Structure 1
Amino acid sequence: MIRVRNLTKTYPIRGGHRTILDSVSFDLAPGRKLGILGRNGAGKSTLIRIISGAERADAGTVERGMSVSWPLAFSGAFQTALTGRDNVRFISRIYNSDFERNIVAVDEFAELGPYLHEPVRTYSSGMRARLAFAMSMIIEFDCFLIDEISAVGDARFGQKCQAELFEKRADRAMIIVSHDAAYVRDHCDHFAVLHDGHMHFHDDFEDAYTLFKGLIGWTPPPDSGTASS
């Protein structure tokens, strides 16, 4: 179980501050998949980083009764002066995992070729995202944190990511944050909308999506589907 209690996070802006998360609380049970909708800048990625431990909240707590991944496709934890291979070695040591097995798996999945032996600082953003995702898959977490992962790589690589996450690890808990309503609908079993620092929870996707559209003032173009943003 992951227990989030009264998370609050503010950022300074010109003339004051902006509250991104305002006393957010929820539980995530093993195997459950929570999809969080919100417009760009709503605080979705901030929430994910706090749950992962990559960022601190101003107030509140996160109790992790499950092992939790770093945000998938998030490359902030890389040692950019090290090669991709050395970053895999570093993660393997932290998690007491088999490096030789892991480097083979990352090499095959990320498809970086000789760049795996080059410093990460030389990578494009897409290459870093592919390495980060591949490294996430070598450690078997109980809960995966997924931040707009549909945007990682090309269509073929995206299909590989889908298979790794939603087929091979279908029994894991997940928190998926996105402004892509269809992606959330297809992969989650309960839902929330993050808006103005507050979380609004729903068991039904259509209820969550209707609220999301209303809060952001979204109107569909002619002949659009019901679950596209």
Structure 2
Amino acid sequence: MIELRNLTKIFRLKGEQKVVADNLNMTFPKGRSVALLGRNGAGKSTLLKMIAGTLDPTSGEIVSEGTISWPVGFAGSFHLDLTGAQNVRFVARIYGVDTDELVAFVEDFAGLGPHFHLPIFSYSSGMKSRLAFGVSMGIDFDTYLVDEVTSVGDAAFRDRSRVLFNARMEHAGAIMVSHSLGMVRSMCDAAAVLEGGQLTYYDDIEEGIAHHKDNMAHST
């Protein structure tokens, strides 16, 4: 369960302000895979970062039960001078999981071959994303935050990613951002639509998609 209490986020730039979250009060239920829908610039990634605890709200709070992942696939926290394997070991120690098990899992899943033992600065963006997805999904969380990560890699890797994600969802929940409605339908069972700083939850994912489509049709 993740509860937003009077959550507000305002960005100010050059005397102007953009309200991403306007006094939001909503609960993401435990064990549901919720699609977070909204047009470009609505603030979906910003909301995920606040839920993850990597970005502070302007006011209000987020109360949660259980463990929450960082945004799945986020590679920005990797140390560029360390190898992929060394970065995975560092993350394992931070989260208190078995180091060798996580390294073995990520090495197998990410499929980086010898590059797994080379410094991150030598990686392409796709390689970093594959490594980041493997690290994220290699740790058991109660809720996974997902931001377009399953679009990473070739078709075979995307298929493996979806299979692994669905396996995790048997025992966890998720909040997922994706512009692919087909992917949303296959991986989520509820929706929340972010528009104009307001967030509307739908227990029926098709109702949420219909709301999102209507917003997109009337965008200027």
For 1:134, the equivalent position in structure 2 comes to 134
1:30/1:208 CA distance change after superposition, 3 Å? closer
The alpha carbon displacement at 1:171 in A equals: 2.5
Could you tell me the TM-score, scaled by structure 2's length?
A: 0.92
For 1:217, the equivalent position in structure 2 comes to 217
SS in 2 for 1:107: helix
For 1:152, the equivalent position in structure 2 comes to 152
Map Cα deviations across residues 23-70 of structure 1 (whole Å, 9 max, x no partner). Answer: 222212321121111112211111111111121111111112111111
| In structure 2, C-alpha distance between the alignment counterparts of 1:37 and 1:90, rounded to whole Å | 33
The alpha carbon displacement at 1:13 in A equals: 3.2
Contact conserved, 1:37 with 1:180, CA < 8 A, in 2? Answer: no
The alpha carbon displacement at 1:133 in A equals: 0.7
For 1:57, the equivalent position in structure 2 comes to 57
Contact conserved, 1:189 with 1:203, CA < 8 A, in 2? Answer: yes
SS in 2 for 1:55: coil
Corresponding letter in the other structure for 1:136: S
| In structure 1, C-alpha distance between the alignment counterparts of 2:209 and 2:154, rounded to whole Å | 27
SS in 2 for 1:45: helix
Q: Does 1:195 align with 2:191?
A: no
Could you tell me the TM-score, scaled by structure 1's length?
A: 0.89
Matches within 5 A, 1:5-16: 5-16=5-16
Contact conserved, 2:67 with 2:142, CA < 8 A, in 1? Answer: yes
CA RMSD of aligned residues (A): 1.7
SS in 2 for 1:21: strand
Q: Does 1:162 align with 2:165?
A: no
Corresponding letter in the other structure for 1:18: K
| In structure 2, C-alpha distance between the alignment counterparts of 1:23 and 1:122, rounded to whole Å | 43
Q: Does 1:85 align with 2:78?
A: no
Q: Does 1:46 align with 2:46?
A: yes
Q: Which runs of 5+ in 2 are unaligned?
A: none
The alpha carbon displacement at 1:207 in A equals: 2.1
Corresponding letter in the other structure for 1:22: D
For 1:23, the equivalent position in structure 2 comes to 23
| In structure 2, C-alpha distance between the alignment counterparts of 1:96 and 1:208, rounded to whole Å | 37
Corresponding letter in the other structure for 1:59: S
Corresponding letter in the other structure for 2:87: N
1:31/1:122 CA distance change after superposition, 3 Å? same
| In structure 1, C-alpha distance between the alignment counterparts of 2:79 and 2:215, rounded to whole Å | 40
Higher mean alpha-carbon deviation, 47-56 vs 176-185, is at 176-185
Contact conserved, 2:4 with 2:24, CA < 8 A, in 1? Answer: yes
Q: Does 1:97 align with 2:105?
A: no
SS in 2 for 1:86: helix
The alpha carbon displacement at 1:131 in A equals: 0.6
Contact conserved, 1:36 with 1:184, CA < 8 A, in 2? Answer: no
Map Cα deviations across residues 84-141 of structure 1 (whole Å, 9 max, x no partner). Answer: 1111111111112111121111111111112212221222111111111100122111
Contact conserved, 2:52 with 2:71, CA < 8 A, in 1? Answer: yes
SS in 1 for 2:70: coil
For 1:226, the equivalent position in structure 2 comes to none
| In structure 2, C-alpha distance between the alignment counterparts of 1:120 and 1:7, rounded to whole Å | 36
1:96/1:171 CA distance change after superposition, 3 Å? closer
